[in-house]
Structures are given as structure tokens and as C-alpha cells.
Amino acid sequence: MDIRLIDLFEKGPLTTSTAYANKHRGAYNEAMLAYHLNGDKWLDSAHQSSAEASKSELAKLGDTEVTQQEKRAKAMADTFLEHASKQGYSGVKAVHVTSGPGDLERATGMPISQQENPSDVVVHFNKKPTGAAHGFMGLSAKSSTSKKIGFHNGGVGTIGKQIGLDLESVANQEQNKFAKENGLPNSKVERKTLIKKDPALYSRASAAASELHSKLRDTVMEHYSNMADSNHENLRSHLIDTFLKAKNNPESLPYVKVHGQSKGEKDASAYVEEPHNNEIYHSVKNANKLNFVKKGDSYLEVQADGKRAFAIQFKHNSTPMATSLKMNGQH
């Protein structure tokens, strides 16, 4: 599971404690989701050990942390299997945790990367729908208190390369400039530690980060706007394939997003969203005109025929001016 999508209750950079909590929330939810999909059985001893380790760490954060993820994981598993059954899948043959690099290809035998398919867990069914190329179906797991959460988290370097922009060099240049002006070391790890320790330095770093976010946002906006005028279909494909992860290839791995929610002592609920059947996808897919509008210092609103489809946020992964930069797709 993408831990950046768990309980996003802070607007700004993640604190160490929040990042720590999110890591174990995501890991435990994912482990228990696979457990329930596998008929309430561990996949293997490594799966069990990993789940128990995450559970132990999560328990240190509060009495309800463990039960919260357990309730969500059960609701998510039930909802996914119900959805799969309606599509014509039945009989769980095997379950694979696929959130790590190379896991998808190892599980399915297909040359798929996490960049194009965000499945955290893949289920291999005994029975597949008529016409389906295989019995595999993936799910991208989201667990949170909020109903609307981010749906894409990509590095500026990777996305920049896709559209012919060297955004990573721009980011590194600005970060190195800030480091030199403030007497910081070359190591980003050391910079991160020093910035977090010094409130005044952190404040300066945050201001510089905001300027960098705006600079990258403006560069991408200009490029996307030019693409909208000169190569509309390539732009549409880029937005659908990269941010919505809805590349339509029947021979590849179908997947759905499964979002588990709960607050306090209330029972958990879950819902499924198909990448090719949701409001954002249809608005971009059917748009005659795509355009872009600046919002704040770091947001780029993607509009389809003049109406908001989704937003792209430019942000640091955590500590400002000392960590990698992201382009997050958000509702």
C-alpha cells in the first residue's frame, strides 16, 4: 500500500511521527487485506512475521490504531471479492502482495511496473470472465479517515522525462543553491537532519520550497498548454496513463482501487472505483479541450472543457529543500 495515502490529516510536510505512523498503518492494512483475501490465512511465514512486526509498532501509537486497520482491511477484502464476483471472477487460487519493485512481474509473469499499474495486492482466480486474457486481478489499496484522497504520487524526474522536461535537474539546482546559501552539506540526508533541527532554517527552507514548487508548476503548465494546442491526443493519453493509471490494455493486468474508511469506534466501510469508470476518467477521456489553471503556490488544476477534472500538486516528499519532489494527482 502507498503509505502516502493513509490518513492524510496534515496539510504540510509530514512530521517524523506522522511518517512513522503512516508507514505501519499502511503495512499492517496491506498485510491483513492479503490475509483476508487468502481465506483468513497467511500467505507464508514471511507474510505473518511482517504483519506481526507492523502490528507491534502500530500498537505503540494508540489503542485503536490496530483495530482501525483490521476493520478496514476486512471491509476492503469483502468489497473487492464481491466486485470481482460480479465481473465473473471466482475461486481464489493465490494471493500476492505486489507493492515492491518487480513484485507484479514475479506474481503474474507479465512485464508490468508499479509506474503503470499501482496494484498493492494481486489475486489469481480459478475462474475468469469470458474473454479475459487471464485470471489475475489487482487492487490498489487506500485506507483513510477521509473520503477523498490523492490518487497518484509520482516523482518529478520520472514524469518530466515522459514529457521531455528535465525537472529533476531544476529541482536539484535550486536545492543545491539553497544549501550553499545556508552553509549546508552536500548530503541530502545531512541537510534533512539539520533543517528539521533548526526552526529558523526550516522556515527559510519552506519559503524556498514554495518558490520551487511554483517554478516547477509554471514550467509544466506551459508545456502542457503547448501540448493541448499542438498534440491534444498525446496530452490526453499522458494524463490518463500517468495520473489516472487507466491505460486500456486488455492483455495487461486489470485492477481496481479499493478504499477503506472508518472513524473512531464506527464500523469500517469500503468502496471500489474502476480506473475506466469514474468521473475524472470520463471527463478527461471525452474532453474536446484540456486546459490548465494555477491554484495557489503549488497546484495545477486540470480542466476538461472548462470544468475541473483533477489537480496536480507539486510538493517535497517530506523535508523542504532536502528531499525528492513529487507531482501528486488529487481529486
Residues 6+ apart with CB under 8 A from 189: none
Quick check: 29 and 260 in contact, CB under 8 A?
Answer: yes
Three-state DSSP class for 235?
helix
> In which element (H, E) is residue 105 found?
helix 103-108
pLDDT of residue 117: 87
Strand residues in the chain grouped as ranges (E): 90-97, 121-127, 136-144, 152-155, 255-261, 269-273, 290-295, 299-304, 307-316, 325-330
Whole-model pTM? 0.75
Q: How far apart are CA 82 and CA 288, in angstroms?
A: 36
pLDDT of residue 149: 56
Residues 6+ apart with CB under 8 A from 20: 57
pLDDT of residue 3: 39
pLDDT of residue 250: 59
Question: Would you write out the chain's pLDDT as a tens digit for each of its 331 residues?
Answer: 543 333 333 333 334 457 778 889 999 999 999 999 999 999 999 999 999 999 999 999 987 899 999 999 999 999 999 999 999 999 999 999 998 889 999 999 999 887 778 899 999 999 999 989 999 999 999 888 766 655 677 899 999 999 999 999 999 999 999 999 999 999 999 999 999 999 999 999 999 999 999 999 999 999 999 999 999 999 999 999 889 888 766 568 999 999 999 887 788 999 998 888 889 999 999 999 999 999 999 999 999 999 999 999 999 988 999 999 999 998 8
pLDDT of residue 17: 59
pLDDT of residue 275: 85
pLDDT of residue 14: 39
